[in-house]
Structures are given as C-alpha cells and as structure tokens.
Structure 1
Amino acid sequence: MANPTSTWQTPSRRRQTEAKRTSILDAAEELFVSSGYELTSVDAIAARASVSKRTVYDHFGDKRSLYRSVLGRVDDALLVTIRAAVQQELTDQRDLREALLAFVQRLTTDVIPSSTYATFRHLIAKTAAAPQLPERSHEEPEKVLEERFAQLAADGRLTISDPRRAVQHFFALTMRLVLDETDQDPTGTVAKTEIEAIITDGVDVFLRAYR
C-alpha cells in the first residue's frame, strides 16, 4: 500500500517521517502481540509511539492497514533469512542430502527460535477480526524454495514434475513435524537429538520419493 505521507520531502524531513513510521510499527507490533488485534486501539498505539492519533492515520490509513504493515514487515524479515539459507546451503557443489539437511537445520536454529518467527506465528493466528497478508505473501517462502527445487530438477539432481507440490511435501516431512513437536512440548525445550532425528528422517523420505 502506498504511504499516505509519501510526498516530496527534504532529507531531514524524510528521516523524521521514517523515524515516526518505524516508531508506530514498533508500538503496534508490541501491542498486537500482547493484546491482540481486536483489543488494540489506535489511541493506544499512538500513545505507545509518542505520536498523535492523526499521525498514525496519516501514515497507515486505518488499524487494518497498520496491522498488515506490521505483519508484512515481520514476513519480510523472515524471507531474508530463508533466502539466505537457500543461497548458502543449497549450493550446486554440495552433496544434495547434506545440503537439504543443512538447509532445514539452518531454519530450525535461525528461524524457529527467533523472536521474529514467534511474532509472525502469533500475528497470523486466526482470529475473527485480524486481517491476513495477501495469499501471495503467505506463499513467498515456499516460492523461494520452489525455484531452487526447479533448478535442481533441471540439473537432474531431483525428479520433480510439480516443484510446488514437492516443496509442500518437503516442509510437511521436516519443518511441519519439528513445529508439531515443539508446539506439543510444554517446556519449549525439545531435545536437539529429537529435532535432528525428525529432520534426518524427513530428508531421507523426501529423497527416496524425489531422487
């Protein structure tokens, strides 16, 4: 969505505008996570950000658009991590099994334990009123891996007719099972050996089906 305040500004004024925008996003994220979408008011966000209510509306239009901006910012941060994992772990020179294991291990150490991911999962939890990101944004992490799987198939390293379905299978066999295991653990301290076993089994099953 276009920024309602995006008119020509001097560099100094632009920095002030961006600082206010960031302050509003930070305040909104904290309150949406702690109180939920429905119970968080624009008045409370403005007070937390030390700006006027009018300033919040000038930057984001309404609470719904602000929520989507918060969710989009968190989603973008996760995408940076996922893209880096794809580029740095799923390299052409690496053994495929080793590369896939390293990729998933990277996600379990860099993504799942992160406060950014915890925020993302909290924000996308289904509620009656909270808006969601457009479908394209939800699929973006899978799209990044889908493109890499298509490349691996073109190089003859994987046998894939539908990269999107292959990615769905891959995440279901690995990340989804890890998340299920961690969600069911009330202490939040699933043994590292258990996570490694889930990942290894999932990658091996995936390769038996697709290599």
Structure 2
Amino acid sequence: MSRAIAAVQTPGRRLRSEGKKAAILDAAEALFIAEGYERASVDAIAARAQVSKRTVYDHFGEKGTIFLRVLERVNDALVGAVRAAIDQELTPGRDLSEALTAFGQRVVTQTFPSSDYATFRRLTSQRSSIPQLAEAARDRPERMLEERFAVLAANGEIRAADPRVAARHFTALTISLALDAIEDRQDAGAEEPEILAIITDGVDAFLRAYR
C-alpha cells in the first residue's frame, strides 16, 4: 500500500479506533455499576462492547486502567459542568449575593442530580481496593472555584487572604449542607424551595464573614 493511500485511510482508521474505545468505556461503565469492579471481567467488557479481548487490552491494558479511564471520563463531565456554572453564574459586574446563590443552586439542583454525578458516586463508593483518581483530578472543581474567588478578592468584592480557604468555607456553608439535606430526605426528596433557602442562608453567612 502506498504512503498516499495509507495517509488517506488514516483518519478513517483513527475514527474507528476512537469508536471502539468509546464502546469499550461505555460497556465497562455499565458493568462496573451493575456488577462492581471485582466481578466485572475484561471478557464481559469485550463481549458487551462487541470487540475482541485483544482489542480491549490493546487500547487500555489491564482492568484497573479501564476503570480509571471510566472514572476520569465521568469526572471530566462533572468538571465541565462546574466550570460552566462558574463561568455563567459568577460573572463580572453581577450582584455577588445573587451570583453566589445562583451558582450554588445550579450546582446542587442541576449538576449533582445529573446521571454523571450518580455514576461517579456509584463508582467511587465501591471497595477501597478499586483504583483511585489522582488527587489533582479530584480537586479540580475546588481549584476552579478557588481561582474565581481569587479574582473576586483581587477586585475587592470579598476579603480573602486565602481564596482556597474561602472556597472551602463557601462550599461547606452552601453546597455541602444542601447535599446533606437531599441525602437525609432521599425517600421523600428535598423540595427545591428548601434547597434554595439553604443556599441563600449559606451565602448570607459567607458574605458576612468575607465582606
């Protein structure tokens, strides 16, 4: 085969390769959730993805690597959702109380109830022997919020000598408390007005401390 022909075919082969990788990750995610990390086998992943076992190993290697790629993919989706909430709600010139309230409510009522977050929780709640995301990947949403709080501090909108601590305080007073309320009322379900009240009270407490 000439180099010219090979070059023309390369994009097609690359597309097929990416399609197989996505199918493998989709199959692995479903099996890790349904059966758990220990019981899900590479053979079963290959069968569900309709590829050979060798193809699975060629793309990802061992099962632990497949699990990490699945976890990273879900985490990336969540990070993207948090980034969008920061960029679209914590905007320059917007009333800070309104912006922080909108951000907290959006994260709690839209991002965390998403299927991506449910998948992330189910994957990471398995036995401690499962492969774990690197700390840097787990901390990305908090670091993004820290960066935005550093901008708010630099602009004089909040008084925060340590934006990282400020971000943690904000999260503890708003998002964490709202999620606790949701988990405490799993059977009945926490009502959105209740969640908004928690977020609003938390934002008020945060701004009293940081303004």
State the TM-score, normalizing by the size of structure 2.
Answer: 0.93
Amino acid in structure 2 at the alignment position of 1:56 = V
Confirm or deny that 1:166 pairs with 2:166.
Answer: yes
CA–CA distance in 2 between the matches of 1:69 and 1:10?
24
Output one character per residue of 1:43-75: Cα deviation in whole Å (capped at 9) or x when no partner.
111111111111111111111111010000001
Distance 1:186 1:165 in 2: 30
* Structure 1 partner of 2:107: 107
Partner of 1:140: 140
Q: Deviations over 1:100-137 (max 9, x none)?
A: 00111111222121101101111121513211110000
Q: Is 2:173 the partner of 1:176?
A: no
Which stretch of the first structure deviates more once superposed, 136-145 or 102-111? Answer: 102-111
Shift of 1:175: 1.2
Structure with the bigger percentage of helix: 2
Other structure's SS at 1:174 match: helix
Partner of 2:30: 30
State the alpha-carbon separation in 2 of the partners of residues 75 and 128 from structure 1.
Answer: 18
CA contact 1:182–1:189 (8 Å) conserved in 2? yes
Q: How does 1:29-178 map to 2 (within 5 A)?
A: 29-178=29-178
Measured in 1, the distance between the counterparts of 2:179 and 2:44 equals 33
Q: Secondary structure at the match of 2:159?
A: coil
Moved over 6 A (4+): none
Helix, strand or coil at the partner of 2:144: helix
Distance 1:40 1:204 in 2: 47
**Aligned equivalents of 2:186 and 2:107: distance in 1?**
21
1:108/1:128 Cα in 2 relative to 1: closer, same or farther (>3 Å)?
A: closer
Q: Is the 8 A contact 2:42 2:53 kept in 1?
A: yes
Task: Tell me if the contact between 1:153 and 1:159 (Cα under 8 Å) persists in the aligned partners.
Answer: yes
The CA deviation string for residues 74-101 of structure 1, in whole angstroms up to 9 with x for no partner, is: 0111111111111111011100000000
Q: Scaled by the length of structure 1, what TM-score is found?
A: 0.93
Mapped to 2, the partners of 1:126 and 1:101 lie a distance apart of 33
Alpha-carbon separation, structure 1, partners of 2:201 and 2:33: 34
| Structure 2: runs of 5+ lacking an equivalent | 1-6
Query: Take 2:194 and 2:200, find their aligned partners in 1: how far apart are those partners?
Result: 10
Q: Could you tell me how far apart the structure 1 residues matched to 2:87 and 2:186 are?
A: 34
Give the total of aligned pairs. 204
- Give the greater-gyration-radius structure (CA): 2
**By how many angstroms is 1:169 displaced?**
1.0
Once residues 207 and 52 of structure 2 are traced to their aligned partners in structure 1, the CA distance between those partners, rounded to angstroms, is 56
CA distance in 2 between counterparts of 1:25 and 1:67 reads 8
Partners of 1:71 and 1:208 lie apart in 2 by 38
